[in-house]
Structures are given as structure tokens and as C-alpha cells.
């Protein structure tokens, strides 16, 4: 479904990614894990068209997307739930969700999609008429995920979904992934919380200093001595 081949990318002439190659198959949960500054967010920004790779290729469903604008990539079926949620705080939760359905392909069926999404997030349904900024951090994260799903994506990408959440809320956020897969949506997660994300991932990649250091199934990476030593303190 998604294939990055030898991607080099960065900012203002500074290279952050150095030859990154990853694959995501339809129906999978794939994760990219690593320390802060490893290049995880740059990978997602390169996928979204926010940052243009200087070398390599990005293909989605067999088509090159590395030269496309962000809005064209959204129209192709890729949606990002950004780090820090980035909701519109002074408008209602309902209007935040409708903003997610802005792309042409999502507008026609937005009412049905809204009901689907609200069935996944009953707490969001209860908060529809509140301003998004008045919600708790966990509730805002649920709204951010719901807004991403409103775009009817083929591939939904998460950037640090556990950031700033309590352990209980982290478990709830990761627990929703299976339900997202049931909607027919493939998932790519970038995350520092290695244990949670590798437990739910079909496959994962460890990114270190802009390069893929390790790859394997989620369990293989959890069992890997380097991962245990470097990230889990074992």
C-alpha cells in the first residue's frame, strides 16, 4: 500500500532522514519507533508532502506521491493525526469533525461517516456542542482521531498519540486501533512509547539518527536485545 524507498529528507539543507525505506501493507498496523529527534515526525511530514524529499521515492497504491501537494495526498487517501492534536479550540467539536470531512471524497457521505465515528467515541458524541478547547487532553485526542477518520482515509497516520496522556488514557487510545482496522483503515503510528505500540503492531521499524536500525514484527522487536537495552532499560 505504502512504500518509501531510500528517502532522504530534511530542513533548510540539513538532512534528517538518510536513506529510509519502509513498507506498509493494506490492513496492517505498522509502527516507527525511536528516541526524540530520530526523524520520526520528519518521516510523516515527508509522507504528507509538508517536507519534500531530496532523494528517493514514496509510492501509495502504486503511484508516486513524493511530488504532490499535501491536499492532493489527503485526496489520495492519507490522513495524519498530528502531534499535540492541533484542534481548532474556539469552535465546537462538531465543527472540528466536519473540518475533517473537507476533502471532496468525504463530503458526500459525511453524515453516515459522522455516525460511524461517534459510535466509536461515545464521549465525543456527548461533547459535540462544546468548544474543543474546553475538553480534557484525553477527550481532545479522541476528537483528533475522530476528525482524522472523518476524511474516510485508506491510511491513517498517528504522530505521538500517547503524548501528554495518563497511562489509562494511553491504553484507551491504543485500544481503539482494532476498531479503526475494522473500518477498513490501515494504520501507521510514530511513537516514543515503544512497549504499547509494538504490542499492537503487526510490524515495526526502529529509527535511529535518521536511518532504519532494525525492523521486524512487533514481538520480534520487543524481544530484541538492542531494543531492550536502548529503549526499555533492561
Strand ranges (DSSP E) for the chain? 2-11, 14-24, 29-33, 55-60, 63-64, 78-81, 155-159, 186-191, 203-208, 211-217
Is the same domain home to 68 and 114?
Answer: no
pLDDT of residue 111: 83
Number of domains forming the structure of the chain: 2
Is the same domain home to 66 and 31?
Answer: yes
Residue 114: inside a domain, yes or no? yes
Q: How far is CA 142 from CA 25, 32, 70, 103, 110, in A?
A: 25, 21, 23, 20, 18
Residue 175: inside a domain, yes or no? no
Residue 201: inside a domain, yes or no? yes
β-bridge pairing 78-81 and 155-159: parallel
Q: Which domain holds residue 91?
A: 87-152
Residue 140: inside a domain, yes or no? yes
3-state secondary structure of 183: coil
Residues 6+ apart with CB under 8 A from 42: 9, 10, 11, 16, 17, 51, 210
pLDDT of residue 91: 93
pLDDT of residue 234: 61
Is the same domain home to 215 and 139?
Answer: no
Residue pLDDT tens, the chain, 234 long: 999 999 999 998 899 999 999 999 999 999 999 888 899 999 999 999 999 999 999 999 999 999 899 999 999 999 999 887 889 999 999 999 998 888 776 777 788 888 988 998 999 999 999 999 999 888 898 899 999 999 889 999 999 888 877 888 888 888 888 888 888 899 999 988 888 899 999 999 999 999 999 999 999 999 999 998 888 776
Where a domain ends, among 152, 172, 196? 152
Is the same domain home to 187 and 110?
Answer: no
Residue 15: inside a domain, yes or no? yes
| pTM for this entry | 0.91
pLDDT of residue 80: 92
* CATH number of the domain enclosing 48: 3.40.50.300
Is the same domain home to 69 and 10?
Answer: yes
Residue 169: inside a domain, yes or no? no
Amino acid at each position: 500500500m505504502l512504500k518509501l524507498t531510500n528517502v532522504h529528507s530534511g530542513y533548510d539543507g540539513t538532512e534528517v532522514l538518510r536513506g529510509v525505506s519502509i513498507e506498509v501493507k493494506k490492513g496492517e498496523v505498522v509502527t516507527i519507533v525511536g528516541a526524540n529527534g530520530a526523524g520520526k515526525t520528519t518521516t510523516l511530514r515527508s509522507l504528507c508532502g509538508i517536507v519534500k524529499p531530496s532523494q528517493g521515492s514514496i509510492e501509495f497504491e502504486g503511484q508516486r506521491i513524493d511530488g504532490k501537494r499535501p491536499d492532493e495526498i489527503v485526496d489520495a487517501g492519507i490522513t495524519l493525526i498530528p502531534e499535540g492534536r492541533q484542534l481548532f479550540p474556539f469552535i465546537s467539536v462538531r465543527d472540528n469533525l466536519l473540518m475533517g470531512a473537507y476533502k471532496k471524497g468525504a463530503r458526500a457521505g459525511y453524515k453516515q461517516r459522522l455516525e460511524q465515528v461517534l459510535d466509536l467515541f461515545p464521549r465525543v458524541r456527548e461533547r459535540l456542542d462544546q468548544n474543543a478547547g474546553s475538553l480534557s487532553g484525553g477527550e481532545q485526542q479522541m476528537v483528533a482521531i475522530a476528525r482524522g477518520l472523518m476524511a474516510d482515509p485508506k491510511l491513517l497516520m498517528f504522530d505521538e498519540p500517547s503524548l501528554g496522556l495518563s497511562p489509562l488514557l494511553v491504553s484507551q487510545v491504543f485500544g481503539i486501533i482494532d476498531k479503526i482496522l475494522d473500518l477498513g483503515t490501515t494504520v501507521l503510528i510514530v511513537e516514543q512509547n515503544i512497549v504499547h505500540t509494538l504490542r499492537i503492531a503487526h510490524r515495526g521499524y526502529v529509527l535511529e539518527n535518521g536511518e532504519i536500525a532494525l525492523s521486524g514484527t512487533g514481538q520480534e522487536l520487543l524481544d530484541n536485545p538492542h531494543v531492550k537495552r536502548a529503549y526499555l532499560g533492561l
